[in-house]
């Protein structure tokens, strides 16, 4: 059953890869059910070494968006590239 949350928020995390398209690094967007510092560690453990990770603190998901992700505490899911 997905975690409904009491205090723990879903973090949006931007990943910058080492893959270039027309000289520009590509990015990915991840959702992570963890505090910001743990979210960074979870995503770094899921991507190749050398990629960079940053929490997008200015963007929050709506309750409906959070529910649609069906994430449990500690889950990380790539949303899109």
**Is 71 buried (19+), middle (13-18) or exposed (0-12) by CB count in 10 A?**
buried
pLDDT at 34: 94
Tally of CA atoms within 13 A in the half-sphere of 19 that contains its CB = 8
21 lies in a domain? yes
Q: Where residue 44 falls among pLDDT bands split at 50, 70, 90?
A: very high
| Over residues 19-26, mean pLDDT | 89
3 lies in a domain? no
**Average pLDDT value over all residues in the chain:** 87
pLDDT at 7: 46
The model's pTM: 0.83
15 lies in a domain? yes
Number of domains, the chain: 1
- Evaluate if residue 9 carries a pLDDT over 90: no
Range of the domain at 60: 10-80
């Amino acid at each position: 059953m997905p975690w409904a949350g009491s205090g723990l928020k879903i973090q949006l995390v931007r990943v910058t890869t080492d893959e270039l398209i027309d000289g520009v690094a590509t990015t990915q967007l991840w959702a992570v059910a963890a505090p910001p510092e743990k979210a960074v560690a979870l995503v770094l453990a899921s991507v190749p070494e050398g990629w960079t990770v940053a929490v997008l603190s200015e963007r929050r998901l709506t309750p409906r968006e959070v529910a649609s992700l069906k994430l449990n505490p500690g889950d990380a899911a790539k949303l899109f590239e």
